[in-house]
Amino acid sequence: MSFLLRRPIFSIGLVITLTLVAIALVSLVWTPLPPTKMQIVHRLKPPMAQGLLGTDQFGRDVASMLMVGAWNSLSTSLLAVAIGATLGTGVGVIVAAIRGLTESVVMRICDIIFAVPPILSAMLLGAFIGSGRFTAIIAIAVFMVPVFARLTLGAAQQIWTRDYVTAAIGMGRNRAKITIVHVLPNIANQIIVQVTIQLGLAILTEAGLSFLGLGMPPPAPTWGRMLSDAQTFLGQAPWLALLPGLAIALAVMGLNMLGDGLRDLLDPRDQS
Amino acid sequence: MIALIFRRVAGLIVTLLLVSAILFAVMDLLPGDPASVILGTSASPDTLAALQKEMGLDRPLVVRYVAWLGGVLQGDLGRSYTYGVPVAGLIAERLAVTVPLALMAVVLSIALAIPLGVQAARHQNGAWDVFSGLFSHVSIAVPAFWVGLLLIILFSTTLGWLPAGGFPGWDVGVADGLKALFLPAVALALPQAGVLMRVTRSAVLEVMNEDFVRTARAKGLSEQTALWRHAVPNALIPVVTMLGLQFTFLIAGAVLVENVFNLPGLGRLAFQALSQRDVVVMQDVVLFFSGLVILMNFLVDLAYLVIDPRLRAGVR
């Protein structure tokens, strides 16, 4: 307990993130009402008047929609970051082991990918293959690859200069083996921290994409589309615009704080 | 110095060429070419082949790329299917909204972030520092388009002070134009300000411990003068770097915020092009935005040389 109290940022982040994950998981087996159930007679009711958090323009229960939205947002972002982090880390450690011309070519390509915001690549993909969850995941994942490739390359290059790596090279270990035995375990902490922080960014991006109609198609509830639908009722039902945004902000803040806390925890050198 | 700038410009050109080539190749690899997108699924193979020939889609990839690039270099970005006008003109028209919006957002975020960050660093661990730490945590996490919605609820539907959206055009008057862009710019600036504030705080903290700041204090300069004349200018490099890195997110935010406020900018153009499947406009807007991001990073590199005279000697 005192361990958590001495690290308030980490603890707050952990609590928010765990709550979010719990809500998302619970939504798979239980929600107050089915999130797609329409009750037109109860439409646009404020929080507590009908259900815990009110109803939307079709009389659907906002609390239930937010719960399922948590699962949709989290699972999409998690998949996207997992793909991006795996590919990016792979590229990073391989390039760090090969060096030479490959390094500058790969990094130049990374710069270019990084120059296209995921919202735009999702729109571009959407124009050709149609929008949906798959498009959103690919667009976010593609943007994550250079993020992780750069981080991994920088971290791995440092490990390659260490004495124990020089020793391993001297003993005749090949570069692939050194990467697996020495490099990856020593940069794992930094990757974990980055995954946490990028998850927050992925949730923000996913929300933006579904706000534009580029995320999961209706009737699946997403935080972004709930906000987009709320635009029409800003005067009559402002809570419809408040609640999903609050959910996004809390989720992202929780993950960012957890990431910051993890960084301090896992990397003692950075502590000041 | 000149040779250095020349090398950077050469690098910039290579990168821009690569972007255009990659974008062109990706567009080609994606299923469905522009002709079939225009005609839809019900078109007969003959009609499709005829349109493909008319659009030059039957030529090899490299030939098409060179022809397209030649056009782009002469300012010919192709024609929009839905508007029936040259895309270059469309983009230029929309820039009159997006560029002032982005500039306003950058200025607002700097005006908010630098004083806040400097004060937080001066009173490290004080109430001010805690408050600004909280501010940065919150502002980084809120989506710009949601801030936009909240601003509309507060300042338009409740107080009625500012327009909820739309853009009257610059010819109606600069004041009306700026008024329409103010709320969107605030929405865009807030998330940026959080990041910038954090960087400013840590950069100033680091510099404050340097010998030259101690010397400035020792020779009798007031704390304020030592801070603003010696510490802050030296802390600007990481701030400028972050400003450049954040540019991608500023553009992504602008796409969303323009849609919230119904502003006829580039982001809105891209969104409309998407719903109308106007792939030529789509491709041009993406090319334009990515070119802008790369150019921005290039300018940040140049800005280092201006801010830090040591680098001019160092990298030669």
pLDDT at B79 over 60: yes
CA–CA min distance A124, chain B (Å) = 6
Contacts with B299 (C-beta within 8 Å, 6 or more apart), sequence order = B244
The confidence score (pLDDT) of residue B316 equals 39
For B264-279, write each residue's pLDDT tens digit: 999 899 888 887 777 7
Instruction: Flag whether residue B10 sits within 8 Å of chain A, measured between CB atoms.
Output: no
Type of residue numbered B97: V
Average of per-residue pLDDT across B73-100: 86
Res. A269 pLDDT band, cuts 50 70 90: low
Instruction: Flag whether residue A247 sits within 8 Å of chain B, measured between CB atoms.
Output: no
Average of per-residue pLDDT across A28-40: 83
- Under an 8 A CB cutoff, do A116 and B277 touch? no
The confidence score (pLDDT) of residue B107 equals 93
The confidence score (pLDDT) of residue A226 equals 92
The confidence score (pLDDT) of residue A222 equals 93
* Closest-CA residue of chain B to A12: B137
The confidence score (pLDDT) of residue B146 equals 94
List, in sequence order, every residue forming a beta bridge with A55; answer none if it has no partner.
A61
Contacts with B19 (C-beta within 8 Å, 6 or more apart), sequence order = A112, A115, B287, B290, B291, B294
Tokens of A184: 């990856």
Question: Helix axis angle, B247-260 relative to B232-245, nearest 10°?
Answer: 60
Please state the φ and ψ torsions of residue B250, each to the nearest 5 degrees.
-65, -40
The confidence score (pLDDT) of residue A203 equals 95
**Alpha carbon distance A140, A163 (integer Å):** 38
Instruction: Flag whether residue B277 sits within 8 Å of chain A, measured between CB atoms.
Output: yes
For A90-118, write each residue's pLDDT tens digit: 999 999 998 888 888 888 888 888 778 88
For A118-170, write each residue's pLDDT tens digit: 888 888 777 777 788 898 999 899 989 999 998 999 899 889 989 999 999 99
* Closest-CA residue of chain A to B30: A128
- Under an 8 A CB cutoff, do B260 and A231 touch? yes
Average of per-residue pLDDT across B212-241: 82
The confidence score (pLDDT) of residue A252 equals 95
**Mean per-residue pLDDT of chain B:** 84
CA–CA min distance A107, chain B (Å) = 11
The confidence score (pLDDT) of residue A248 equals 95
Listing DSSP states for B224-285 in one string gives: HHIIIIIIHHHHHHHHHHHHHHTHHHHHHHHHHHHHHTT--SHHHHHHHHHHTT-HHHHHHH
**Alpha carbon distance B52, A87 (integer Å):** 36
The verdict on domain A2-265 having CATH code 1.10.3720.10 is yes
CA–CA min distance B117, chain A (Å) = 18
Nearest to B248 among A117, A227, A245 (CB): A117
Question: Helix axis angle, A133-160 relative to A184-211, nearest 10°?
Answer: 150
The confidence score (pLDDT) of residue B132 equals 87
Residues of chain A with Cβ-Cβ distance to B297 below 8 Å are 111, 115
**Alpha carbon distance A8, A266 (integer Å):** 16
**Looking at per-residue confidence, does B74 or B2 come out higher?**
B74
Residues of chain B with Cβ-Cβ distance to A117 below 8 Å are 248-249, 251-252, 255, 289, 293
Please state the φ and ψ torsions of residue A48, each to the nearest 5 degrees.
75, -30
Stated pTM of the model:
0.87
pLDDT at A16 over 90: yes
For A39-48, write each residue's pLDDT tens digit: 877 777 788 7
For B140-150, write each residue's pLDDT tens digit: 899 999 999 99
**Looking at per-residue confidence, does B40 or B211 come out higher?**
B211
**Alpha carbon distance A1, A64 (integer Å):** 33
Max mean pLDDT among B48-62, B102-116, B245-259 falls in: B102-116
List, in sequence order, every residue forming a beta bridge with B79; answer none if it has no partner.
B86
Distance of CA B180 to the CA centre of its chain: 19
The confidence score (pLDDT) of residue A122 equals 81
* Closest-CA residue of chain A to B19: A112
